[in-house]
Amino acid sequence: MKQVPPGRSVEVRVPASSANLGPGFDSIGLALGLWDRYVVTTSDSGGLSIEVTGEGAGDVPTDDRHLVHSTMQHTWGVLGVAPPAGLRIQATNGVPHSRGLGSSASAIVAGVVAAQALSAGLGLDDRDEAYAEWPAPGQPMPVDLGLAVHVSSRLEGHPDNASASVLGGLTVSWMPDGSGLDRGEQTVSARIALHRDVEVVVFVPDTQLATRTARAVLPATVPLAAAAADAGRAALLVHALATDPSHLHAATRDWLHQEARRSSYPETMELVDLLRSQGHAAVVSGAGPSVLVLSTHGSVEQVQAGSLAPRWERLVPGVPEHGACIRVR
């Protein structure tokens, strides 16, 4: 088996994401302009070194349980290459953890694309001929984004966050035969161009909610009427985001997951209810507890938390056109 060579270094930047956007549960994702940055370097001396600054510093493990490291090991297994003898990961994290902003997906995507990039030129695919020599520092390093969507979605367990972090912008993801991630189906994502007027506001609380906890309260089955209503609104949502933002308020109604999780994030729903009563297209961001508002450039200043503001940090992060970026160091 070929081994990832020593002496290679890449810089990887990956954006945050918001999943669901109301009715697009486990399918629709939107990249957000908050970024994790990693420098990943291989060496010929054994051992692992991980340094973390920013979000998660002091909380995430800095040994082989670190999510970026474990994801890289998994990806090298998928690619059929042996890991390098030594590995250094320097993380500067800007994506808040367990706030519904896709931090775990960002970390997983970083691990997948870093592992792909560091394996370039090993004869693993056609693209590799271009990397017979390791590129000069500063060069962009393209990776197989379709593979990155698939591997990161499988590891994350749902494709909405991971796809947006890989591709940027607005994404809709699905499994071709609808059998679900656990059956090993390839995940596919469509990248949809956002209407130029769309702008987003995010309200981030101090409190955290693990996605696993928020998923545990969801019912195994839902009434046909709820499924039908969400399907219609999800279709309208894509139209509203791509073509006609005047429909955003109606398009962000959801009957599948937000009410079922209300007791897990009462303050989040209090803010969603307040903003929606004012005509803003507010939704729970991912599994919460952050709140996302889909607005327009001209209306964004009107999106305020009012009397609830002290509990929330208000951000206008922008929606990046591109997702994960990889450069040679």
Ligand X SMILES: N[C@@H](CCO)C(=O)O
Ligand Y SMILES: Nc1ncnc2c1ncn2[C@@H]1O[C@H](COP(=O)(O)OP(=O)(O)OP(=O)(O)O)[C@@H](O)[C@H]1O
Residues that bind ligand X (CB under 6 A): 19-20, 25-26, 100, 102, 158, 160-161, 211, 214-215, 257, 286-287
Q: Whole-number minimum distance, CB 135 to ligand Y, in Å?
A: 26
In the complex, the residues that contact ligand Y under the rule CB under 6 A are 19, 36, 56, 60, 66-68, 93, 97-105, 107, 161, 210-211, 286-287
- Write down the least CB distance from residue 219 to ligand Y, Å: 18
84 binds, among ligand Y, ligand X, none (CB under 5 to 8 A by kind): none
103 binds, among ligand X, ligand Y, none (CB under 5 to 8 A by kind): ligand Y
Give how far the C-alpha of residue 220 lies from the chain's centroid of Cα atoms, to the nearest Å.
Answer: 24
Residue 107's binding partner among ligand X, ligand Y, none (Cβ under 5 to 8 angstroms by kind) is: ligand Y
Q: H/E element holding 174?
A: strand 170-174
Which residues participate in the annotated binding site for ATP? 96-106
* Residue 11 CB burial class (10 angstroms; 0-12, 13-18, ≥19): buried
Q: At its nearest, how many Å lie between ligand X and the CB of residue 284?
A: 8
Q: What is the DSSP string of 144-180?
A: -HHHHHHHHHHHHSSHHHHHHHHH-SEEEEE-TTS--
Residue placing its CB nearer to ligand X in the complex, 117 or 256: 256
Amino acid identity at 35: W
Rounded to a whole number of angstroms, the minimum distance from the CB of residue 160 to ligand X is 5
- CB count in 10 Å sphere of residue 121: 18
Provide the phi-psi class of 209: left if phi over 0, else alpha when psi is between -120 and 50, else beta.
beta
What residues are designated binding site? 96-106
C-alpha R_g of the chain:
20
Q: Do 208 and 97 form a contact (C-beta atoms < 8 A)?
A: yes
The listed partner (ligand Y, ligand X, none) that binds 230, CB under 5 to 8 Å by sort, is none
Nearer to ligand Y, 87 or 120 (CB): 87
- Kindly tell me which of 20 and 189 has the beta carbon lying closer to ligand X: 20
Q: Is 59 helix (H, G, I), strand (E, B) or coil?
A: coil
Q: How far is the CB of 314 from ligand Y (least distance, A)?
A: 18
- Which residue, 63 or 177, has its beta carbon nearer to ligand Y? 63
Bond prior to 289 in cis (omega within 30° of 0): yes
Cβ 122 vs Cβ 162: under 8 Å: no
CB of 86 to ligand Y, least distance (A): 20
Pick between residue 79 and residue 209 the one whose CB is nearest to ligand X.
Answer: 209
Rank residues 211 and 295 by Cβ distance to ligand Y and give the closer one. 211
Least CB distance to ligand Y at residue 187 (A): 16
Q: Which is nearer to ligand Y, 79 or 202 (CB)?
A: 202
β partners of residue 171: 29, 191
Cα separation, 57 vs 63, in Å, equals 13
Smallest Cα–Cα separation from 105: which of 188, 206, 185, 26?
26
**Which of ligand Y, ligand X, none has residue 22 at its interface (CB below 5 to 8 Å by kind)?**
none
Partner from ligand X, ligand Y, none binding residue 158, C-beta < 5-8 Å depending on class: ligand X
Q: Output the CA angle 68-73-77, nearest 5 degrees.
A: 140
153 interacts with, out of ligand X, ligand Y, none, CB within 5 to 8 A per kind: none
